[in-house]
């Protein structure tokens, strides 16, 4: 067994994890808990945050309409801070409450320069996102949203501009859903390095299959998929240079050509 401790105030909580050589899934070993980014490392990081009452706060909105807006304005190469800035800008215009604003009004608001750190910046996709938001707000106003994670995610994929990843992001945030996965670049890279995702598959063509693999991995670790997803995303995003070196060091026969494309994103 691997024994590690978490300090909680004046107390210590002992966590036992399986031996490094034991398989967590067929062909995937637990690895050493102190080695980033092994399965044991991820299990410990989730449990440590849980025991120390330091979970990652990933909900962005106070209503489903706000959550949809926040997630639609982010992702797809848009820096997180820019998506959140645009979200707060629309919130300040009262665009996220009351009667849904028109697409044209949303476009005008999103095109406005927004102050940040003594300067002004502009949101790059005002026209496209205004169109998606206007359609989403109308659909949310006239239809009842499902109340379970997978059902909400699948319902959201019928919205213009919302694919599996964004819909899963909304469902995870809003419902703490453990039956969906947000398969962004950081999760995919972690899956390749730890071996729990099939890197010959792509999110564009095989999202359900990759999601199934991620959910099986979280279940095998004994942690919630929503917690695991959030922890992996945060740590991988904060360790970009280390992750890049690890991916570049992968053997040629592990699909390095595809991995190298990920490094350029």
Catalytic residue check, 198: no
Is residue 124 located within the same domain as residue 151? yes
Identify the active-site residue in 184, 198, 229, 256: 184
Distance, CA of 195 to CA of 182 (rounded, Å)? 17
- Average pLDDT, rounded, for the chain: 90
Q: Are residues 74 and 165 in the same domain?
A: yes
Domain check: are 221 and 160 in the same one?
Answer: no
Out of 124, 141, 175, pick the residue that ends a domain.
Answer: 175
* One domain for residues 83 and 111: yes
Domain end marker among 111, 143, 175: 175
CATH number at residue 164: 1.10.340.30
Q: 155 and 233 in one domain?
A: no
User: In this structure, are 69 and 167 located in the same domain?
Assistant: yes
- Is 184 an annotated catalytic residue? yes
Mean pLDDT of 210-234: 95
Residue 76 reports pLDDT greater than 80: no
Angle at 230 between CA 54 and CA 177, to 5 degrees: 100
Long-range contacts of 149-158 (CB under 8 A, 24+ apart): 149/175, 149/177, 149/178, 149/179, 149/180, 150/177, 150/179, 150/180, 152/177, 153/177, 153/180, 156/68
Residues 193 and 256 in one domain: yes
Choosing from 144, 175, 206, the residue where a domain stops is 175
Interatomic CA distance for residues 240 and 236, integer angstroms: 6
**Residue-wise pLDDT tens digits, 14-37:** 889 999 999 999 999 999 999 999
Which residue did the predictor score with more confidence, 139 or 5? 139
Name the pLDDT band for 253 (thresholds 50, 70, 90).
very low
Q: State whether 80 and 163 are in the same domain.
A: yes
Is 67:173 a contact under the CB 8 Å cutoff? yes
More confident of the two residues 18 and 80: 18
- Model confidence, pTM: 0.87
Give the list of residues 6+ apart from residue 113 with CB closer than 8 angstroms, or none. 120, 121, 122
| 157-196 pLDDT, tens digit each | 999 999 999 999 999 999 999 999 999 999 999 999 999 9
**Domain total for the chain?**
2
From the candidates 165, 179, 212, 256, give the one annotated as an active-site residue.
165
Are 170 and 71 members of one domain? yes
Its domain, for residue 100, covers 64-175
Are residue 189 and residue 252 in the same domain, yes or no? yes
Do 146 and 69 sit in the same domain of this protein?
Answer: yes
**185 and 139, same domain (yes or no):** no
């Amino acid at each position: 067994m691997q024994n590690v401790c978490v300090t909680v105030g004046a107390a210590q909580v002992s966590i036992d994890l399986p031996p490094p050589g034991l398989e967590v899934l067929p062909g995937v070993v637990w690895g050493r808990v102190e080695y980033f980014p092994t399965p044991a490392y991820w299990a410990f990081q989730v449990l440590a945050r849980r025991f120390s009452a330091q979970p990652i706060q990933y909900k962005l909105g106070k209503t489903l309409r706000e959550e949809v807006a926040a997630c639609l304005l982010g992702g797809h190469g848009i820096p997180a801070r820019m998506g959140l800035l645009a979200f707060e800008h629309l919130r300040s215009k009262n665009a996220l409450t009351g009667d849904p604003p028109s697409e044209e009004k949303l476009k005008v608001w999103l095109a406005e320069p927004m102050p940040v750190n003594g300067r002004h910046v502009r949101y790059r996709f005002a026209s496209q996102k205004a169109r998606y938001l206007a359609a989403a707000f109308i659909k949310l106003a006239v239809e009842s949203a499902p109340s379970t994670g997978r059902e909400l995610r699948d319902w959201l994929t019928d919205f213009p501009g919302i694919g599996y990843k964004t819909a899963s992001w909304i469902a995870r945030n809003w419902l703490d859903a453990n039956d969906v996965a947000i398969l962004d670049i950081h999760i995919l890279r972690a899956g390749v390095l730890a071996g729990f995702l099939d890197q010959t598959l792509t999110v564009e063509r095989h999202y359900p299959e990759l999601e199934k693999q991620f959910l099986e991995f979280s279940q095998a670790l004994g942690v919630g998929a929503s917690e695991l997803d959030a922890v992996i995303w945060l740590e991988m995003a904060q360790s970009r240079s280390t992750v890049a070196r690890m991916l570049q060091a992968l053997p040629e026969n592990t699909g390095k050509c595809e991995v190298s494309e990920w490094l350029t994103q």
